[in-house]
Amino acid sequence: MRRPVALRLSAALSTMALAAATGVLLTMPEASAAAAGGATGFASQNGGTTGGVGGQTVRATTGTQIHQALCGRASSSTPITIEVEGTINHANTAKVSGDSCNTAAGVIELKQISNVTLVGVGSGAVFDQLGIHIRQSSNIIIQNVTVKNVKKSGSPTSNGGDAIGMESDVRNVWVDHATLEASGGEDDGFDGLFDMKDNTQYVTLSYSTLRNSGRGGLIGSSETQLDNGYVTFHHNLYENVDSRTPLLRGGVAHIYNNYYVKLNKSGINSRAGAHAKVDNNYFKDSKDVLGTFYTDTTGYWQVSGNTFDNVTWSSPGTENHPAGPDPKSNTTVSIPYAYTLDAASCVPAIVTGTAGAGKGLKVSDGDCSTTTPTPDPTDPTPDPTDPTDPTTPGGTNLSLGAGADGSSKASGTSYGNVRDGDLGTYWSPAGSTGSVSVKWPSATSVSAVTIREAAGAQGVIGSWRLLNGDTGAVLKTGSGAGSIGIPATSLRKITFEITGAGGTPRIAEFETYAG
């Protein structure tokens, strides 16, 4: 049975209801239009969460390449989608410096930046013992990735032990179809799987799996840090987790259509005046799945449509306030966005078929079945208008003109080989990425470029940017070698920047044309 819910109550009605139920005045954020790009829940509010939509797409197979992609942008807010494939670990994640980034070794650092999508592609992206740290950043999407065994003690350590951690003025983060897992609790060196601290707001965790951990995650690091919140959790699988699914200190959380299996000590822990709306979840083989635990500073909850399957409840105490065995609402929480509820009876099948990385980004259709979004909101397919036809444009190859020269920002074979008219010679960067340029002593009009790979290296070049070397402006982005058309641009230097490749590229020719 389909259950559409469109609760767009006014802020005045919301605060009246909350004040009447709890004696606490709670101001809800003003609702805004849902974001393009597929973000759901609270991540669709506050202007929306679109990540790198509208920017270039690059490929990364190491943590260092992820950092290089962030640091290679024109600014810290230039949109970018980073496709990740392979295993990211300490050995291949180094600090990279630049004006558009602030990175660190041993952690994927999304710090003081915005407008970024990090998406697993191909055979998958696994962040092994290495966490993702979001700090002083906004408009971030993380999708289709696995983060596992991140430790805060022992060896190696990363990200304070959090698989994904957000702190310090973070806004608008959507984590979707992720798998976050540990191999034990705090005594084994692990901390939270999904933590939000120090003024983190407008976050959604959807269609994700969190398992085998002592701590699922928290919102607020202390009973006095109450500036976090507006977080949505929906269609997630929590499996074999001791507690914090989540721990909520202050703020508002909307928790619906999640499947909880084997919560060993406690589950949703609403504390310090927090308000949780808990709809149509399925709790199985678990203990104390909802309430206020380990403190006498209580929180609040509104419940409806949940299923409690073999759930046990402890007795109330000074620092133990379980909502069950017959959970009742003790507040009212208004939700400013539209959403659709699956019946709780459908949740186990829906969630096990959709949650986590490598599930094809399948989602619920809102009627107890699954579907695949079309088009995929974060599909990193290159713009089909990007020309890849290697046919030579008409006119004279300006790279062979008098005074034309080649230069490179990366070491490797001779960069002069890219403008000598000889397909038997080539330039390569020292690794899989780098930049090579053609320049002239005076301004030259260019409206077409052809990149030709050497024999035996066809298809190695992945993602690239074509830059105005005079100003740094991005003229075009795409993937693969071939011909590239651009609006006629007068410049003295044009740069072809390889941002992703399937090996070491070999560029035989960097041809330039006036038309």
Catalytic residues: 244
What is the number of residues in the chain? Answer: 515
Residue from 441, 444, 460 nearest 452 by CA: 460
Residue from 144, 143, 219, 151 nearest 182 by CA: 151
How many Å apart are CA 172 and CA 2, to the nearest integer? 28
Residue from 451, 43, 5, 434 nearest 233 by CA: 43
- Residue given tokens 């830059």 in the structure block: 467
For 102, half-sphere exposure in the C-beta direction (CA atoms, 13 angstrom radius) is 11
The distance from CA 129 to its chain's CA centroid, rounded to whole angstroms, is 18
Phi, psi (5° rounding) for residue 120? -75, 140
Tokens at 299, concatenated = 């929180």
Please name the residues in contact with 70: beta carbons below 8 A apart, sequence gap of 6 or more.
80, 82, 96, 98, 100, 101, 103, 110, 113, 116
How many Å apart are CA 49 and CA 377, to the nearest integer? 11
Query: For 189-222, what is the HEC assignment?
Result: CECECEEEECCEEEEEEECCEEEEEEECCEECCC
How many Å apart are CA 215 and CA 209, to the nearest integer? 13
Q: What is the biggest distance separating any 2 CA atoms in the chain, rounded to whole angstroms?
A: 87
Pairing relation of β-strands 259-263 and 108-111? unpaired
Type of residue at 285 = D
The distance from CA 253 to its chain's CA centroid, rounded to whole angstroms, is 20
CB atoms within 10 A of CB 313: 17
How many Å apart are CA 10 and CA 336, to the nearest integer? 8
How many Å apart are CA 318 and CA 298, to the nearest integer? 11
86, β-bridge pairs = 125
End-to-end CA distance of the chain: 60
